[in-house]
Amino acid sequence: MISGRDNFRRSIEFEDPRYLPSYFDCDLDWLRDKDARKRRTVEELKSRIPDDILGFLWCWKNEAPPEKHGGQTSWTDEWKVGWIDSGFGARVASHPLQGGYHLLEGFRFPDPHSEDRFEDADAQLAARAERYVLATVWFTLFERMWMLRGFDNILTDPYTDMKGFCYLRDRIVETNLAMIDRWLERDVDGIFFSDDWGSQRALLISPEDWRRLYRPPYERMFARVRDGGAHVWMHLCGNIQSILPDLVEIGLDVLNPVQPQAMDVRELARDFGGELCFFGGVDVQQTLTIGTPEDVKEEFRDLVELFGTYDGGYIAGTSHSIMPETPLDNVIALYEAVLEYAEPS
137 Cβ contact list (under 8 Å, min separation 6)? 59, 176, 179, 180, 183, 191, 192, 193, 221
Q: What is the DSSP string of 185-205?
A: HTT-SEEEEE---B-SSSBSS
Say what angle helices 162-185 and 215-227 make with each other, to 10 degrees: 10
Q: What is the dihedral sign for C-alpha 316, 319, 322, 325?
A: negative
Per-residue pLDDT of the chain (345 residues; tens, 9 = 90+): 899 999 999 999 999 999 999 998 888 998 999 999 999 999 999 999 999 999 999 999 999 889 999 889 999 999 999 999 998 789 999 999 999 999 999 999 999 999 899 999 999 999 999 999 999 999 999 999 999 999 999 999 999 999 999 999 999 999 999 999 999 999 999 999 999 999 999 999 999 999 999 999 999 999 999 999 999 999 999 999 999 999 999 999 999 999 999 999 999 999 999 999 999 999 999 999 999 999 999 999 999 999 999 999 999 999 999 999 999 999 999 999 999 998 776
Question: What is this structure's pTM?
Answer: 0.96
All structural domains of the chain, each given as residue ranges with its CATH number in brackets, are 4-60+118-342 (3.20.20.210), 62-109 (no CATH)
209 Cβ contact list (under 8 Å, min separation 6)? 158
Rg (CA), the chain: 20
